[in-house]
Amino acid sequence: MYKALLSRFSDSPSLVSESQIKYFEGCLHALSQSPDLSALLDAKAEDGDEFWDPKDPFLAARRPYIVRGGVLQIPVAGVLLNNFPWQIGGWATGYQYISRAFQRGLADPEVSSIAFVINSPGGNTAECFDLTDRIQAAKGQKPVGAFAYEMAFSAAYAIAASADSIVMSRTGGVGSIGCVMMHVDFSKAMDAAGVKVTFVSAPEGGHKTDGNPYEPLGDETRARMQARVDESYQTFVSTVANGRGMTEDAVRETKALTFTATQALSNGLADEVAPFDEALAAFAANSTEKGTEMTEKSKQTDDTSVDASTHQTAVANAEAKGFAEGVSAERGRINAILSSEEGKARPKAALSAALKTDMTAEQVTAFIADLPEEKAEASTGSNTGSQAERNAQNFDAAMSADNPDVGAGDDESGKGTEDDVTALAANFGLSGFKSRQTT
């Protein structure tokens, strides 16, 4: 079983720290000794609620979902494996398990924040960046913290870098931002043993046997392998740069080295150094404050929406009030012009100036005072008083109506302000003006 697990890393790029190769091998060996491993590897990757079946203690123990104080703690421990929906102690963790736990935590109303508790030398490249993309895409939904206790190397650091912050123990390590692929050449050992392996493959001259361990690695094959590694490395660099807010050049400058806590604080690969229990408690408290702040902001947004509606009503009321005050002021202006001594002596000129200009009453009376006085026409019927007084009375009566009918509301085209003034003047009873005829 150990060889089967190790073969997952053969002939493909891997995200594992070379400095932790012994620990890496030890994790796989311990996993291979698990009495439940065969059942786990053969188990169906369930969908929906079956993935978290609480009635099955076997599943619950191998797919932990631990929420304490509103913080979901997701273990990222041991070797990280693709196509492995489990978490087996400190030996192995599947990307599928991490992804499902993360998605459940985002949707869980009892979870205020998510913590990746990491102690891993790295793992498979496959599925790693799908997971980190999902974590980075969810930024802002809930606080996400990474805690390197003790190590977050290579693939594990890709996960850590995708969180909002990284806290590590003072004896911990992070980094190993690189990718590795291995080829083993047994050709000389085979020669020494007097053994020769001959391949017969199709198509002739093809690449079916490239990279086999019984022949030296050719230059062309090596170049293709290097291209695969470079592509995975570029994805790794971009992931860290995006997650940490660093430039890609700065990430490349780390040259796949691993770093202590002090070094990581200096080069931007970590944010804080603290004991795990203290760091987790501070993270939980800070997450609660952020949750409260987000709730308050949401409430303020709702209040703002209510205020906006009230504001619109207030604006409409203010506009109506302003219009009424404007009408009243204009009525007073025209009344003052028509009832002035100058207006009484020159009623036609007074009305014309009142309606056609925006001069104040004082300016109009001063202007028309220089004009010849108009001859008064004989009154008929029950009309009494001066023409100007009757004009003013008619104006007040017209403007006091709910809808003053001054003859300017028809739909005929080509009518200018002269027609409106004529109609208004006629309604005032001024001689010489003819009211519009309605049909």
406: pLDDT strictly greater than 50: no
Q: Give whichever of 180-194, 296-310, 357-371 has the largest mean pLDDT.
A: 180-194
Q: What percent of the chain clears pLDDT 90, i.e. is strictly above it?
A: 53
Kindly report the pTM of this predicted structure. Answer: 0.66
Closest CA to 315 of 304, 323, 327, 305: 323
pLDDT level of residue 362 (50, 70, 90 thresholds): confident
Rounded-to-integer distance, Cα 432 and Cα 102, Å: 89
| Summary mean pLDDT of the chain | 82
Q: Count other Cβ atoms within 10 Å, centred on residue 44.
A: 7
Q: Is 105 within 8 Å of 50 (Cβ atoms)?
A: no
pLDDT at 105: 98
Please, which residues have CB within 8 angstroms of residue 10's CB and are 6 or more apart in sequence? 182
Q: Which H/E stretch holds residue 116?
A: strand 113-124
Closest CA to 15 of 184, 167, 150, 157: 157
Q: Are strands 165-168 and 272-273 parallel, antiparallel or unpaired?
A: parallel
71: left (phi over 0), alpha (psi -120 to 50) or beta: beta
pLDDT level of residue 389 (50, 70, 90 thresholds): low
Rounded-to-integer distance, Cα 428 and Cα 388, Å: 10
Model confidence pLDDT, tens digit, residues 250-289: 999 999 999 999 999 999 999 999 999 999 999 999 887 6
pLDDT level of residue 56 (50, 70, 90 thresholds): confident
CA atoms within 13 A on the CB side of 11: 9
Chain centre to alpha carbon of residue 57:
39
Closest CA to 27 of 87, 96, 97: 87
Rounded-to-integer distance, Cα 129 and Cα 235, Å: 8
Read off the pLDDT of each residue in 375-388 and give the average, rounded to a whole number: 53
380: pLDDT strictly greater than 60: no
Q: Apex CA 218: angle with CA 216 and CA 220, to 5°?
A: 165
- Superfamily of domain 2-182+219-274 in CATH is 2-enoyl-CoA Hydratase; Chain A, domain 1 (3.90.226.10)
pLDDT at 277: 95
Distances from the Cα of 432 to the Cαs of 36, 180, 234, 415, in angstroms? 112, 104, 92, 19
Model confidence pLDDT, tens digit, residues 305-318: 445 566 666 666 76
Model confidence pLDDT, tens digit, residues 131-174: 999 999 999 999 999 999 999 999 999 999 999 999 999 999 99
179: pLDDT strictly greater than 60: yes
Q: Apex CA 58: angle with CA 54 and CA 59, to 5°?
A: 55
Amino acid identity of 419? D
Model confidence pLDDT, tens digit, residues 191-246: 999 999 999 999 988 999 998 899 999 999 999 999 999 999 999 999 999 999 99
382: pLDDT strictly greater than 60: no
Rounded-to-integer distance, Cα 216 and Cα 199, Å: 14
More confident residue, 433 or 177: 177
Chain centre to alpha carbon of residue 65:
27
pLDDT at 396: 55
- Of 13-27, 105-119, 201-215, minimum mean pLDDT range: 201-215
Q: Is 374 within 8 Å of 349 (Cβ atoms)?
A: yes
Amino acid identity of 316? A
